[in-house]
Amino acid sequence: MYKIAVAGTGYVGLVAGVCFAEKGHQVTCVDIDRNKVNVMKSGISPIYEEGLEELMQKNYAEGRLDYTIDYQSAYKDADAIFIGVGTPEQPDGSANLSYIATVARQIAESVEKDCLVVVKSTVPVGTNDKVEQFINDFLVNDVRVEVASNPEFLAQGSAVHDTLYAERVIIGTESKWAEELLMNIYEPFHLPIVSVNRRSAEMIKYASNDFLALKISYMNDIANLCELVGADIQDVARGMSFDERIGRKFLNAGIGYGGSCFPKDTKALEYIAKQNGYELKTVTAAINVNNEQKTLLYKKASKRLITFNGLKVAVLGLTFKPGTDDLREAASLENVPLLLEQGADIYAFDPVGAENFAKVYPEGKNGKGSITYVSSPEDALKNANVCFIFTEWGEVKAVTPETYKKLMRTSLVFDGRNIYKVDEMGEAGVEYHSVGRKV
Ligand code: UGA
């Protein structure tokens, strides 16, 4: 078993640290925020992620997991230091590497024995070469430090499961020593390991995320055409999915991809290509389709209604997908301001995302319109003139077609997630607009 330090306790760092501890390693998670460290020590997770808190409490109690702001003590005798700090998007689409640089500097000043630095954060191809050079330039003690790439493939909402039962672990190394050490660290996970060089590992992360983004945008593009020619995107997707070369997953058309990864990583790869004098036309197309798709429901509803002024608008779901309180790049953030500008009175339901949404749009009067947060879909639907579905939460899916008919003043529903069968909504007397299917 190894002594591991993890830099950064966001989704990537915290989940990795907790899972390494669960597999028997001795783990210290480092963060700069003292309050956050104290909260984690008390067994509370700073992020909403199923199963994480239980594992935090168990491994902390059993002495394999700890949290600290004292990076020096965590790094000085670690066998491996995993970096999971953010690489946020900059206005030009490039990745901001300042957090990685800060950690690299701290590592260089702290390590007292040979150590492998493993970058989990998504970074532009070639970054880890520079990180290794940077650490060695600033190294205080006479020790060997190498950098490996180990990109993360967890999805929010299923992060713990995705880490413990990953379909593959990608390790990118430049020496036998680094490769063997990283393989040994992952040995107790019993997962398929793909060992490649560092730059390929960095590229695998972007290529994978951008391929999935492309797949979604492709389905959205086809969905829009389906509407025009009278085909049904869900039947089309089902028919396609039997071909193993296409696969069953990520064929769901809707209101575009959101979250912290696909939007950022598509733009980052587009930028990397440009920097290298190359135009990545497919990825650019995925970005453009996604931008259009985000406001699809608003555009559809605007065609159907003369105005939203004074209308009671039910909004079901605010987060970019279910199972998370994350609002980053969520379609709701694009549509709600347009509705408020028009004077809509919004009644919004989201089981965990409402609190974060209220930080941007506080309850009460907002510009010409207003927003009220309610605790059930039914409360949002009562007497509503129109309903928008942005996230397919279980609570939203549980609402029956008859409920829309019964509770709403006008049972007019715009569904961005294709939750219902078109026919059953029709039979219940609901005017139902979805994505890539007939009205
Ligand atoms: C994504 C990838 O799925 C992970 O493999 C990757 O590790 C992660 O990014 C990352 O780079 O950290 P995540 O952003 O958490 O994970 O969420 P996804 O489940 O992939 O969903 C992203 C967006 O695509 C959501 O808005 C979702 O609603 C949308 N989506 C997904 C569709 O519109 N259609 C689909 O068929 C699937």
Render 349-393 in DSSP notation, one character per residue.
E-TTTHHHHHHHS-SEEETTEEEEEESSHHHHHTT-SEEEE----
**Which atom of ligand 1 is found nearest the CA of 156?**
15
CB 258 less than 6 A from any atom of ligand 1: yes
The number of the ligand 1 atom at minimal distance from the alpha carbon of 330 is 26
Cβ–ligand 1 distance for 154 under 6 Å, the answer: yes
Percentages helix, strand, coil for the chain (3-state, rounded to 5) are 45, 15, 40
Token pair listed for 300: 């559809």
Please give the Cα distance from 173 to 112 (Å, whole number). Answer: 22
CA 169 – CA 153 distance, rounded (Å): 8
| Whether 140 and 106 share a structural domain | yes
Residue that finishes a domain, picked among 149, 169, 196: 196
**Bridge partners of 345?**
312, 370
Is pLDDT at 144 greater than 90 in this prediction?
yes
Cα 75 to ligand 1 centroid, rounded to whole Å? 33
Percent above pLDDT 70 for the chain:
100
Q: What is the CATH number of the domain that holds 127?
A: 3.40.50.720
pLDDT band at 186 (very low <50, low <70, confident <90, very high): very high
Q: Quick one: which atom of ligand 1 is closest to the CA of 216? A: 34
Q: What is the mean pLDDT of residues 160-165?
A: 96
Beta carbon of 349 within 6 Å of any ligand 1 atom: no
Structural domain contains residue 438: no
Which residue's CA is the nearest one to ligand 1's atom 30?
257
> Which pair of tokens denotes residue 234?
């869900």
Positive or negative, the Cα torsion across 315, 321, 325, 329?
negative
Q: Are 179 and 83 in the same domain?
A: yes
Q: How many CB atoms lie within 10 A of CB 26?
A: 17
189 near 23, Cβ under 8 Å?
Answer: yes
pLDDT score for 95? 82
In a domain, 11, yes or no: yes
Which residue matches tokens 């965590």? 74
Please indicate whether residue 252, judged by its CB atom, sits closer than 6 Å to ligand 1: yes
pLDDT above 90 for 48 = no
The model's pTM: 0.93
**Cβ of 320 less than 6 Å from ligand 1:** yes
211: pLDDT strictly greater than 90? yes
- How much is the average pLDDT of 147-151? 98
91 against 320, higher pLDDT = 320
Concerning whether 387 is annotated as a catalytic residue, the answer is no
Query: Is residue 439 situated within a structural domain?
Result: no
Given the residues 19, 226, 261, 387, the one annotated as active site:
261
Which protein residue has the closest C-alpha to ligand 1 atom 20?
155
Q: Which two tokens stand for residue 420?
A: 């219902």
In this structure, are 273 and 215 located in the same domain? Answer: yes
The rounded mean pLDDT for the chain is 96
Q: What is the distance between the alpha carbons of residues 205 and 366, in angstroms, rounded to a whole number?
A: 40
Output 434 or 91, whichever has higher pLDDT: 434
In a shared domain, residues 85 and 154: yes
Specify whether 21 is located in the same domain as 78.
Answer: yes
Q: What percentage of the chain carries pLDDT values higher than 90? A: 94
**Which pLDDT band, with edges at 50, 70 and 90, does 213 fall under?**
very high
Distance 157 CA to ligand 1 centre (A): 10
Among candidate residues 134, 41, 31, the one with its CA nearest the CA of residue 86? 31
Asked if residue 93 has pLDDT above 80, the reply is no
Domain boundary, last residue among 261, 293, 325: 293
Residue at 14 is within a domain: yes
| Amino acid sitting at position 302 | S
pLDDT reading at 334 higher than 80:
yes
ipTM for this model: 0.98
Give yes or no for residue 157 having a pLDDT over 90. Answer: no
Three-state DSSP state, 103: helix
Q: Whose CA is nearest to atom 37 of ligand 1?
A: 250
CB contact at 8 A, 353 and 392:
no
**What angle in degrees, to the nearest 10, is found between the helix axes of 262-275 and 198-229?**
120
* pLDDT value for 50: 87
Q: What CA–CA distances, in Å, run from 153 to 158, 163, 306?
A: 11, 8, 45
pLDDT at 156: 86
Does the pLDDT at position 346 exceed 80?
yes
| Domain ranges, residue 337 | 295-433
Q: Say how far apart CA 56 and CA 114 lie, in whole Å.
A: 28
Question: Quick one: 54 and 161 in the same domain?
Answer: yes
Pick from 78, 34, 199: which is nearest to 132 by CA?
199
Banded model confidence at residue 260, pLDDT cuts 50, 70, 90: confident
Same domain, yes or no: 186 and 212: no
Query: Looking at residues 199-209, what average pLDDT do you find?
Result: 97
Do 311 and 364 share a structural domain?
yes
| Whether 129 and 143 share a structural domain | yes
Residue 323 near ligand 1, beta carbon < 6 Å: no
**pLDDT tens sequence across 27-37:** 999 999 999 99
Is the per-residue pLDDT at 150 higher than 90?
Answer: yes
Domain boundary among 167, 196, 225: 196
Contact by Cβ (8 Å): 424, 438: no
Which single residue is written with the structure tokens 């509503």? Answer: 384
Q: How many structural domains are present in the chain? A: 3
Both 229 and 156 in one domain: the answer is no
Shortest-distance Cα residue to atom 11 of ligand 1: 261
pLDDT per residue over 267-307, tens digit each? 999 999 999 999 999 999 999 999 999 999 999 999 999 99
- C-beta 326 within 6 A of ligand 1: no
Asked whether residue 69 falls in the same domain as residue 168, the answer is yes
Reported as a single tens digit per residue, the pLDDT across 3-36 is 999 999 998 999 999 999 999 999 999 999 999 9
The set of residues, in sequence order, having a beta carbon less than 8 Å from that of 264 and lying 6+ positions away, is 88, 89, 95, 122
Q: Is the pLDDT score of 109 beyond 90?
A: yes
For the CA of 220, the nearest atom of ligand 1:
33
381 located within any domain: yes
